[in-house]
Chain A
């Protein structure tokens, strides 16, 4: 349970960090380290070079201006949990963060790190997908913006990032509508077996828009068939049940040590229903 030796670098600027990443073949970015360090301790990962970005003070920020929330790469999960700005502009993020690990983990862990690791049991990839978030990825060759859906969708413990790319920021529009989040874990704070996130906007005629995602076991997924079943309905219990049933069918459920594909499908049904009930109730308050 001891990590293998590596070369350690602690750059103080994004330019220095991307230079190091492009100059070292087998390098890894270290942010919160709450997934990377255990993987290194198990020697499931043994990078030759670690680029520790915690000293890049420019990356530690949370800003909500002009209807857009931006979170820097080293902003801690605890900072998100306690941000009154985020509670106002993207409350789903605060609600979901309470389910991420335990306090000691959230004091170090970052959202960008969680996306880059893309653990199938992780809340943030699915939640940020539901919120229509995107990331800025920077390398020594330039920078690009890609949606969280393109970054993590279809990937398992990996992403669409190139090895020399660094996520510097996550941005998303202010949440429009009510939100819901539900997950099932053996111990609160542990890895979830499955979970669902939803953002629902209502108008005078019923559900105007819905964004529904789920995670657990395999790649996080946007569930457009569940969304289609809800949009245009009255958001009542029959419509919610129909949408949740479609979510369970569409979600790419798999067997693993924590549960069978059928079990997970049953969970997705129940958890999506709960998330949607919360989201519709919130949307009616807004």
Chain B
């Protein structure tokens, strides 16, 4: 098939159908076809991590996946991270610990942090550095990002315990 095809994605809990060419990467479809511009595109070749989203609950680079491949899949973008109008603890922690400056990398950082804590709810600082190593920030120098993820982990563990 060439030309445009109908693609149905469950984005942040809502089924959405859009037309797109097979060559359109998921990040472009989210941004340009569905208007979800919170997903940022930095390098567009899988190096920077800015476009990180969750695909069926697992983090992926949305620049390295054609949208047509995500047919029928569930996708969580930064717009879907908040819970009932309340910022997610990871978002709150990035604000509280100054884990962002310009904010360009932040959507990808937040989703990578959410994914990490889902797999490892109480990571050590080294584990955070290792796991978040796939996401590049050009402002903060990473110290505050690591503190934010650790802060979110403490907050989330307090709530659940």
Which residues on A are within 8 Å of B, measured CB to CB?
A: 1-10, 30, 33-34, 37-38, 40-42, 50, 52, 54, 78, 101-105, 107-108, 187-189
Expressed in whole angstroms, the Cα–Cα distance for A8 and B59 within the complex equals 24
Identify 4 new A-B residue pairs, CB closer than 8 A, beyond the known A41-B25, A105-B46, A108-B65.
Answer: A1-B45, A30-B69, A104-B112, A107-B60
Measured between beta carbons, the chain B residues less than 8 angstroms from A187 are 133
Q: How many A-B residue pairs have CB under 8 A?
A: 90
CB<8 Å pairs between A and B, sample of 8: A5-B21, A6-B23, A8-B5, A8-B66, A33-B69, A101-B134, A102-B133, A104-B61
Contact of B134 among A30, A33, A108, A189 (CB under 8 A): A189
Which residues on B are within 8 Å of A, measured CB to CB?
A: 1-2, 5, 21-23, 25, 28, 44-46, 49, 52, 55, 58-61, 63-66, 68-69, 112, 115, 130-131, 133-134
Measured between beta carbons, the chain B residues less than 8 angstroms from A6 are 2, 22-23
Measured between beta carbons, the chain A residues less than 8 angstroms from B60 are 104, 107-108
Measured between beta carbons, the chain A residues less than 8 angstroms from B66 are 8, 30, 33, 37, 50
Rounded to whole Å, the gap between the CB of B74 and the closest CB of chain A is 14
Expressed in whole angstroms, the Cα–Cα distance for A187 and B49 within the complex equals 14
Contact of A50 among B22, B64, B130, B134 (CB under 8 A): B22
Name the residue on B nearest A39 (C-beta).
Answer: B45
Cβ-defined contact, A34 with B64, below 8 A? yes
Measured between beta carbons, the chain A residues less than 8 angstroms from B64 are 33-34, 37-38, 105, 108
Cβ-defined contact, A107 with B58, below 8 A? yes
Expressed in whole angstroms, the Cα–Cα distance for A138 and B135 within the complex equals 37
Measured between beta carbons, the chain A residues less than 8 angstroms from B49 are 102, 104
Contact of A103 among B21, B46, B59 (CB under 8 A): B59
Cβ-defined contact, B1 with A38, below 8 A? no
Cβ-defined contact, A41 with B45, below 8 A? yes
